Amino acid sequence: MALDAIAKARPAPQQWLMGTEAFERHMPHHDGIRALWETKWREPISNLFFLDLIARDVNDGDSDKYTQSFIPTARALEKRGDEAAAKGSGEGKTEASQLYLRAACILRIARFPYITGFPQPNNPAKWEAWELQKAIYRKAGSLWSPSPLSEVSIPHTFAKGRDRDTIPAYVRVPPSLSNGDSKHPAVILFTGLDGYRPDNTARCDEFLSRGWAAIVLEIPGTADCPADPADPNSPDRLLDSLFAWLASDGRFDTGRVLCWGLSSGGYYAVRAAHTHRDKLLGVVAHGAGTHHFFAREWLAKAEGHEYPFKLIPALAMKYGYGDDVEAYLEGSQGRFSLLETGILGMPSTRLLLVNGTHDGLMPIEDSMLLFEYGSPKEARFFTGALHMGYPMANGSVYPWMEQVMASAK
């Protein structure tokens, strides 16, 4: 049977592997800001912000009041960072970096749940917080030695249609190599629905500690990504331009390039493993949705699962449907499913699939599906864990990446 016929014969499962109770569950943090803080964010986020939001009865994460509540604290931290940086000492720079990063983290929460600049910013208040986050993060990155943050505007030489002409990326490169190699292995990091370039310092530090360069960029339909989110082929053109830049830059070992896609970025990692298999030594698809994720049956309940705010409107906008949620629910699977579009039938590079078996955002079935098509795959699933398989997941990813990188020496 042809792949397209098989795809159309794959309806949503009658029983999801996460179990009916978990699938049907409406998590309590969706009951308002107070519930979100008390059940999900009490530990990682200061109660001062949320007590203020609760007192003012702010229950809409998309509201200007929500976003603006975080700005004064971020500005105060930035000012303290400026004062520490002015000391000029090593301790002062370290303190400044920590303060700037705290401010950037607060601004990440301020711009939740989702922003896009394509074709124009969807939320002006959150976009302002995004621009401020980048500006403060830039200050932190300038202090990191010997691998400071570099903001690069990569020419989108393969842009087509509504694509924009530059790809904003963060690049960090390790110190000069001591083993005689003149070029650095590299990791392309695809961000997710709401975690963007300034939110991945720890991962980039892990790459640098292993002698790998880090290239971080957003996925179509989010933040600064220039790719047309409504065009299923735009991510292929994005990678074409990225690889052309990597080859022309001269600092990177193009024979040792890995890709890691996070959450919604996992979808693009799976796609890249197939469409650009000759350019990638290996790919990690971490929490990927590939086929069932786009089904109405799944999305009808995913709205009430792990995501902190409203999920479906964000996804509709992210995939180019704007405010037309019904059109997204009706048409996204046929347009974007990697099974229905034939991508999964292609051979792929080495591909590691990582997730929790109780992921309520991207069904574990979407990772398991890949074992039935194309090239053999590898996987590590965490029983009972939620989206992304945290906190255990990274402990499996880094050793795999090290082994794949070493195989090409």
Positions marked active-site: 263, 359, 387
Query: Which structure tokens are listed for 274?
Result: 């197939």
Cβ atoms of residues 74 and 106 within 8 Å: yes
CA distances to 1, 293, 295, 332, 370 from 7, in Å: 10, 14, 12, 14, 12
Dihedral Cα 363, 365, 366, 371, nearest 10 deg: 160
Q: Name, in order, each residue with C-beta under 8 angstroms of 43's C-beta and a sequence gap of 6 or more.
A: none
Cβ atoms of residues 168 and 151 within 8 Å: yes
Q: Cα–Cα distance between 98 and 26 in angstroms, integer? A: 37
- The SS3 call for residue 169 is strand
Cβ atoms of residues 239 and 276 within 8 Å: yes
Q: Cα–Cα distance between 357 and 16 in angstroms, integer? A: 10
Q: Enumerate the H helices of 250-369 as residue ranges.
A: 264-275, 296-302, 312-318, 325-336, 365-368
Report the chain's C-alpha Rg in angstroms. Answer: 21
Q: Name, in order, each residue with C-beta under 8 angstroms of 285's C-beta and a sequence gap of 6 or more.
A: 261, 266, 267, 269, 270, 273, 351, 352, 353, 354, 367
Q: Name, in order, each residue with C-beta under 8 angstroms of 86's C-beta and a sequence gap of 6 or more.
A: 92
Cβ atoms of residues 311 and 264 within 8 Å: no
Q: Cα–Cα distance between 56 and 216 in angstroms, integer? A: 37
Backbone angles phi, psi at 173, to 5 degrees: -120, 135
Query: Which structure tokens are listed for 123?
Result: 């939320």
